[in-house]
Amino acid sequence: MNRPAGKRFLLGALLTLGVVAPVRAVVPVVATLELLNRQHVETCHRIGNKLGSVSTEQCLNSGLAHSGAWSNSGAPILFRDYPRLPGREPLGRVLLIGGIHGDEYSSVSIVFRWMSVLQKYHSGLFEWRIVPLLNPDGLLRQGSQRMNAHGVDLNRNFPSPNWEEESEDYWVRRTARNPRRYPGPQALSEPETHWLAAQIEAFSPDVIVSVHAPHSIVDYDGPAAAPEKLGSLYLKLLGTYPGSLGRYAGVHKDIPVVTIELASAGAMPSLAEQRHIWADLVKWLKQKLPTRPIGPRSARTGGGGH
């Protein structure tokens, strides 16, 4: 991507996401885009240095854009859209998320692998919004951790009815104040979860796919008809927790949430297994999405158990 084209793409992405507003002055926009581009490049270098399965070049060439949102430590949250194609009506919209927990390396690496598949074979069958690393602070610190820079488990920070009472009770009574499960001072207190919740509203996905490790199963929350297996991973319902994405989106917003629990947090599945999981996921989406209404669901009320 040449630099002017890259600037136009990034500005268009930010305007689409509502992160920046149209402005008259060209110089401030260019300066802002230069800053965002530097942060994007720096983050890809850090990802390449951290993950053995993702190189800096792969990250830089993956078409990711700076969302205009930042983590607590100032790392950009990157995303990539694979939009509808001219002349083809997609079956629905899919939001794919990796790296909610920063110490689950494989959950980030495999999303990058699947992005490379989409770069070659995106057919317009679905619209995709992909976030390979929601928790950059957790992954990119010297010793990676489950939580973000504030010590919050992002998968306990999403809103749900009675969040204040239930999340505190669960954390204190069920986990004995385990710092790895700290839900935060209030729902959506963290910039990472606040941004993702805004994306769920703006993108209005028909399905959310969240990748975790290392339980080696498929978990599911939401309307019926869960995938029975993805590759060698079989369905096992773990239930939801106060503040989890499954409870927030799957239960209270009625959006199917597929949680892929890889077998290892540190080691990638074999290439064959990566392909089988992806093929089974696409097959299930092709069967599932035609049964769901496509379009904005702003009237719906507002989790995966890991």
Annotation: CATH topology of 67-291: Aminopeptidase (3.40.630)
What is the tens place of the pLDDT at every residue in 196-234? 999 999 999 999 999 999 999 999 999 878 999 999 999
Tokens at 38, concatenated: 């530097």
pLDDT tens column, 77-94: 999 999 999 988 999 999
Q: Are strands 76-82 and 65-70 parallel, antiparallel or unpaired?
A: antiparallel
The predicted pLDDT at position 31 comes to 58
Q: What does DSSP assign to residue 156?
A: G
Give CA–CA dist 254/238, Å, rounded: 17
Could you tell me if 82 and 118 are in contact, meaning their C-beta atoms sit under 8 angstroms apart?
yes
HSE (side-chain half, CA atoms, 13 Å) at 153: 22
- What is the pLDDT, as a whole number, of residue 12? 45
pTM given for the model: 0.86
Q: Which residue ranges of the chain lie beneath pLDDT 70?
A: 1-33, 292-305
- Residue pair 40/8 in contact (Cβ under 8 Å)? The answer is no
205, 129 contact by CB (below 8 A):
yes
